[in-house]
Amino acid sequence: MQVKLASSYGFCFGVKRAIKIAQINKGASTMGPLIHNLDEINRLKDDYQVGLYKDITEVDPKSTVIIRTHGIPKNDLKTLKLQNTKVVNATCPFVTTPQQIVKKMSEEYYSIVIFGDETHPEVKGIKSYGKDVNDVHVVSEVEELANIKFKFDKIASIAQTTKNKEEYLEIVNKLILKHREVRVFNTICDATFENQDAANELSNNVDIMIVIGGKNSSNTQQLYRICLKNCKASYLIENEKDVNLAWFKNKKLCGITAGASTPDWIIQNVVNLIESI
Protein backbone atom coordinates (compact mmCIF):
# COMPACT_ATOMS: atom_id res chain seq x y z
CA MET A 1 0.00 0.00 0.00
CA GLN A 2 1.30 3.42 -0.97
CA VAL A 3 1.22 5.94 1.90
CA LYS A 4 1.15 9.74 1.79
CA LEU A 5 1.46 11.92 4.89
CA ALA A 6 -0.38 15.24 5.15
CA SER A 7 1.85 18.28 4.60
CA SER A 8 1.23 19.22 8.25
CA TYR A 9 0.29 16.80 11.06
CA GLY A 10 0.94 15.76 14.63
CA PHE A 11 2.54 17.48 17.58
CA CYS A 12 1.98 21.18 18.02
CA PHE A 13 4.29 23.60 19.78
CA GLY A 14 2.45 23.37 23.12
CA VAL A 15 2.57 19.58 23.23
CA LYS A 16 6.28 19.41 22.30
CA ARG A 17 6.99 21.94 25.04
CA ALA A 18 4.95 20.02 27.67
CA ILE A 19 6.72 16.73 26.91
CA LYS A 20 10.11 18.40 27.23
CA ILE A 21 9.05 19.84 30.60
CA ALA A 22 7.90 16.40 31.77
CA GLN A 23 11.15 14.75 30.68
CA ILE A 24 13.20 17.37 32.52
CA ASN A 25 11.13 16.85 35.70
CA LYS A 26 11.71 13.11 36.07
CA GLY A 27 9.60 11.62 38.87
CA ALA A 28 7.11 14.49 38.96
CA SER A 29 3.35 13.95 38.52
CA THR A 30 0.98 15.66 36.13
CA MET A 31 -2.28 17.24 37.25
CA GLY A 32 -4.66 15.43 34.89
CA PRO A 33 -3.30 13.69 31.76
CA LEU A 34 -0.48 15.89 30.36
CA ILE A 35 -1.76 15.53 26.77
CA HIS A 36 -4.59 13.60 25.16
CA ASN A 37 -2.50 10.57 24.23
CA LEU A 38 -2.42 7.52 26.46
CA ASP A 39 0.51 5.85 24.67
CA GLU A 40 2.73 8.89 25.14
CA ILE A 41 1.68 9.20 28.78
CA ASN A 42 2.64 5.56 29.33
CA ARG A 43 6.01 6.20 27.68
CA LEU A 44 6.65 9.12 30.04
CA LYS A 45 5.68 6.89 32.98
CA ASP A 46 7.96 4.02 31.89
CA ASP A 47 10.98 6.09 30.78
CA TYR A 48 10.74 9.14 33.08
CA GLN A 49 8.64 7.92 36.04
CA VAL A 50 6.10 10.69 35.42
CA GLY A 51 3.05 10.02 37.61
CA LEU A 52 -0.54 11.12 37.20
CA TYR A 53 -2.98 12.74 39.63
CA LYS A 54 -6.55 12.40 38.45
CA ASP A 55 -7.83 14.93 40.95
CA ILE A 56 -6.54 17.72 43.18
CA THR A 57 -7.43 15.68 46.30
CA GLU A 58 -4.94 12.97 45.26
CA VAL A 59 -1.97 15.34 45.28
CA ASP A 60 0.90 14.66 47.69
CA PRO A 61 1.82 18.24 48.76
CA LYS A 62 5.50 17.29 48.86
CA SER A 63 5.59 16.08 45.25
CA THR A 64 6.30 18.14 42.14
CA VAL A 65 3.15 18.79 40.11
CA ILE A 66 3.20 19.49 36.37
CA ILE A 67 0.20 21.45 35.07
CA ARG A 68 -1.18 19.77 31.95
CA THR A 69 -1.11 21.52 28.51
CA HIS A 70 -4.86 22.28 28.76
CA GLY A 71 -4.39 24.15 32.05
CA ILE A 72 -6.35 23.60 35.26
CA PRO A 73 -9.06 25.59 37.08
CA LYS A 74 -7.87 28.68 38.93
CA ASN A 75 -8.86 27.34 42.36
CA ASP A 76 -6.89 24.11 41.87
CA LEU A 77 -3.78 26.15 41.13
CA LYS A 78 -4.49 28.27 44.22
CA THR A 79 -4.81 25.13 46.37
CA LEU A 80 -1.48 23.79 45.11
CA LYS A 81 0.23 27.07 45.91
CA LEU A 82 -1.40 27.37 49.36
CA GLN A 83 -0.10 23.92 50.35
CA ASN A 84 3.38 24.90 49.06
CA THR A 85 3.46 22.18 46.42
CA LYS A 86 6.19 22.69 43.82
CA VAL A 87 4.34 23.56 40.60
CA VAL A 88 5.82 23.32 37.10
CA ASN A 89 3.51 24.94 34.57
CA ALA A 90 3.24 23.12 31.23
CA THR A 91 0.03 24.93 30.25
CA CYS A 92 0.28 25.77 26.56
CA PRO A 93 0.91 29.54 26.24
CA PHE A 94 -1.93 29.63 23.71
CA VAL A 95 -4.24 28.42 26.52
CA THR A 96 -2.85 30.82 29.10
CA THR A 97 -3.88 33.70 26.81
CA PRO A 98 -7.66 32.98 26.86
CA GLN A 99 -7.45 32.38 30.63
CA GLN A 100 -6.02 35.88 31.08
CA ILE A 101 -8.53 37.38 28.61
CA VAL A 102 -11.45 35.94 30.61
CA LYS A 103 -9.96 37.33 33.83
CA LYS A 104 -9.42 40.83 32.37
CA MET A 105 -12.71 41.06 30.46
CA SER A 106 -14.83 39.99 33.41
CA GLU A 107 -13.04 42.57 35.57
CA GLU A 108 -14.00 45.18 32.94
CA TYR A 109 -17.68 44.15 33.11
CA TYR A 110 -18.03 42.24 29.88
CA SER A 111 -20.27 39.18 29.70
CA ILE A 112 -18.20 36.33 28.27
CA VAL A 113 -18.88 33.72 25.60
CA ILE A 114 -16.55 30.76 25.15
CA PHE A 115 -17.00 28.73 21.98
CA GLY A 116 -16.00 25.25 23.15
CA ASP A 117 -16.95 22.01 24.84
CA GLU A 118 -18.20 22.57 28.40
CA THR A 119 -16.63 19.28 29.58
CA HIS A 120 -13.19 19.79 28.02
CA PRO A 121 -10.43 20.47 30.61
CA GLU A 122 -9.15 23.47 28.62
CA VAL A 123 -12.60 25.09 28.72
CA LYS A 124 -13.13 24.26 32.39
CA GLY A 125 -9.82 25.95 33.15
CA ILE A 126 -10.50 29.04 31.02
CA LYS A 127 -14.01 29.47 32.42
CA SER A 128 -12.74 29.38 36.01
CA TYR A 129 -10.87 32.66 35.46
CA GLY A 130 -14.13 34.64 35.21
CA LYS A 131 -14.88 37.00 38.10
CA ASP A 132 -18.49 35.76 37.94
CA VAL A 133 -18.49 32.26 36.39
CA ASN A 134 -22.28 32.46 36.01
CA ASP A 135 -21.70 35.13 33.37
CA VAL A 136 -19.13 33.05 31.44
CA HIS A 137 -21.22 31.14 28.91
CA VAL A 138 -19.88 28.10 27.08
CA VAL A 139 -21.59 27.39 23.75
CA SER A 140 -20.80 24.55 21.38
CA GLU A 141 -23.11 25.76 18.61
CA VAL A 142 -24.76 29.00 17.54
CA GLU A 143 -28.30 27.90 18.49
CA GLU A 144 -27.36 27.85 22.18
CA LEU A 145 -26.95 31.64 22.21
CA ALA A 146 -30.73 32.11 22.14
CA ASN A 147 -31.11 30.75 25.69
CA ILE A 148 -28.45 32.88 27.34
CA LYS A 149 -29.25 35.75 29.68
CA PHE A 150 -26.24 38.05 29.62
CA LYS A 151 -25.52 40.25 32.62
CA PHE A 152 -24.03 43.05 30.48
CA ASP A 153 -24.62 44.43 26.99
CA LYS A 154 -20.90 44.37 26.19
CA ILE A 155 -19.70 40.90 25.21
CA ALA A 156 -16.21 39.44 24.99
CA SER A 157 -15.85 36.23 23.01
CA ILE A 158 -13.06 33.66 22.89
CA ALA A 159 -12.75 30.17 21.42
CA GLN A 160 -11.23 26.92 22.63
CA THR A 161 -7.84 26.80 20.86
CA THR A 162 -8.76 23.75 18.76
CA LYS A 163 -12.14 24.92 17.48
CA ASN A 164 -13.26 25.47 13.90
CA LYS A 165 -12.89 29.06 12.72
CA GLU A 166 -16.00 29.17 10.49
CA GLU A 167 -18.23 27.98 13.34
CA TYR A 168 -16.65 30.59 15.60
CA LEU A 169 -17.52 33.35 13.10
CA GLU A 170 -21.13 32.13 12.99
CA ILE A 171 -21.40 32.59 16.76
CA VAL A 172 -19.62 35.93 16.72
CA ASN A 173 -21.84 37.28 13.93
CA LYS A 174 -24.98 36.45 15.88
CA LEU A 175 -23.56 38.31 18.87
CA ILE A 176 -22.55 41.39 16.85
CA LEU A 177 -26.07 41.85 15.50
CA LYS A 178 -27.52 41.81 19.01
CA HIS A 179 -25.01 43.75 21.09
CA ARG A 180 -23.52 47.20 20.84
CA GLU A 181 -19.99 45.94 21.43
CA VAL A 182 -18.47 42.52 20.88
CA ARG A 183 -14.81 42.15 21.65
CA VAL A 184 -13.72 39.21 19.55
CA PHE A 185 -10.51 37.43 20.50
CA ASN A 186 -9.18 35.01 17.94
CA THR A 187 -7.74 32.41 20.29
CA ILE A 188 -7.91 29.52 17.81
CA CYS A 189 -4.44 28.07 17.37
CA ASP A 190 -2.71 28.27 13.99
CA ALA A 191 -1.25 24.76 14.37
CA THR A 192 -4.82 23.44 14.38
CA PHE A 193 -5.57 25.33 11.15
CA GLU A 194 -2.45 24.02 9.45
CA ASN A 195 -3.20 20.37 10.28
CA GLN A 196 -6.85 20.88 9.25
CA ASP A 197 -6.02 22.53 5.93
CA ALA A 198 -3.50 19.81 5.10
CA ALA A 199 -5.98 17.04 6.04
CA ASN A 200 -8.64 18.68 3.91
CA GLU A 201 -6.36 18.76 0.90
CA LEU A 202 -4.97 15.26 1.26
CA SER A 203 -8.27 13.49 1.99
CA ASN A 204 -9.63 14.76 -1.33
CA ASN A 205 -6.91 12.89 -3.20
CA VAL A 206 -6.63 9.43 -1.62
CA ASP A 207 -8.61 6.18 -1.58
CA ILE A 208 -8.46 5.74 2.18
CA MET A 209 -7.62 8.15 4.98
CA ILE A 210 -6.23 7.28 8.41
CA VAL A 211 -6.44 9.80 11.26
CA ILE A 212 -4.22 8.94 14.24
CA GLY A 213 -4.99 10.45 17.63
CA GLY A 214 -6.68 10.18 21.02
CA LYS A 215 -10.41 9.52 20.76
CA ASN A 216 -11.02 12.18 23.45
CA SER A 217 -8.84 14.71 21.62
CA SER A 218 -10.89 17.61 20.29
CA ASN A 219 -8.52 18.50 17.44
CA THR A 220 -8.21 14.84 16.34
CA GLN A 221 -11.99 14.53 16.12
CA GLN A 222 -12.11 17.65 13.96
CA LEU A 223 -9.48 16.22 11.62
CA TYR A 224 -11.56 13.05 11.38
CA ARG A 225 -14.74 15.00 10.54
CA ILE A 226 -12.93 16.95 7.81
CA CYS A 227 -11.51 13.75 6.26
CA LEU A 228 -14.83 11.92 6.39
CA LYS A 229 -16.46 14.74 4.45
CA ASN A 230 -13.98 14.26 1.57
CA CYS A 231 -13.28 10.53 1.78
CA LYS A 232 -15.87 7.99 2.91
CA ALA A 233 -13.14 5.48 3.79
CA SER A 234 -11.77 7.56 6.69
CA TYR A 235 -10.84 5.87 9.98
CA LEU A 236 -9.85 7.25 13.39
CA ILE A 237 -7.26 5.11 15.20
CA GLU A 238 -5.19 5.58 18.35
CA ASN A 239 -2.25 3.46 17.20
CA GLU A 240 -1.25 0.64 14.83
CA LYS A 241 -3.19 -1.94 16.89
CA ASP A 242 -6.48 -0.37 15.73
CA VAL A 243 -5.67 -0.91 12.04
CA ASN A 244 -8.08 -3.32 10.30
CA LEU A 245 -6.60 -4.88 7.17
CA ALA A 246 -10.05 -5.27 5.54
CA TRP A 247 -10.27 -1.46 5.16
CA PHE A 248 -7.51 -1.51 2.54
CA LYS A 249 -9.10 -3.96 0.09
CA ASN A 250 -9.07 -2.52 -3.48
CA LYS A 251 -7.43 0.69 -2.23
CA LYS A 252 -4.22 2.06 -3.75
CA LEU A 253 -3.28 5.27 -1.97
CA CYS A 254 -3.60 5.77 1.80
CA GLY A 255 -3.44 9.30 3.31
CA ILE A 256 -2.32 9.75 6.90
CA THR A 257 -2.71 12.61 9.33
CA ALA A 258 -2.43 12.85 13.11
CA GLY A 259 -3.78 15.04 15.92
CA ALA A 260 -1.71 17.60 17.79
CA SER A 261 -1.00 15.20 20.66
CA THR A 262 0.08 12.18 18.59
CA PRO A 263 3.81 11.42 18.95
CA ASP A 264 5.95 10.73 15.92
CA TRP A 265 6.86 7.22 17.08
CA ILE A 266 3.21 6.11 16.95
CA ILE A 267 2.77 7.69 13.49
CA GLN A 268 5.89 5.86 12.30
CA ASN A 269 4.55 2.51 13.58
CA VAL A 270 1.31 3.05 11.66
CA VAL A 271 3.13 4.09 8.46
CA ASN A 272 5.37 1.00 8.66
CA LEU A 273 2.39 -1.32 9.10
CA ILE A 274 0.32 0.17 6.26
CA GLU A 275 3.26 0.26 3.85
CA SER A 276 3.72 -3.46 4.45
CA ILE A 277 0.14 -4.28 3.40
Residues forming the site for its own copies (CB under 8 A): 165, 169, 172-173, 176-177, 179-187
- Which strand ranges, in their side-by-side order, compose the sheet holding 29-31? 51-53, 29-31, 64-67, 86-89
Nearer to its own copies, 195 or 262 (CB): 195
Q: How many other CB atoms are found less than 10 A from the CB of residue 44?
A: 23
Nearer to its own copies, 118 or 153 (CB): 153
Nearest alpha carbon to residue 68 among 43, 35, 97? 35
Three-state DSSP class for residue 53? strand
The gap from C-alpha 36 to its chain's centroid, in whole angstroms, comes to: 8
Rounded Cα–Cα distance for residues 63 and 84 (Å)? 10
Nearer to its own copies, 177 or 246 (CB): 177
Q: Min. distance of Cβ 184 from its own copies in angstroms?
A: 5
Contact between residue 263 and residue 39 where contact means Cβ atoms under 8 Å apart: yes
Phi and psi based region of residue 84 (left: phi greater than 0; alpha: psi -120 to 50; beta: remaining)? left
Query: Is residue 107 annotated as part of the catalytic site, yes or no?
Result: no
**Beta-bridge partner residues of 234:** 209
AA identity, residue 276 = S
Rounded Cα–Cα distance for residues 196 and 8 (Å)? 8
Q: Which of 58, 122, 143, 275 is catalytic?
A: 122
Nearer to its own copies, 165 or 251 (CB): 165
Nearer to its own copies, 178 or 252 (CB): 178
Rounded Cα–Cα distance for residues 271 and 256 (Å)? 8
Residues classed as catalytic: 122
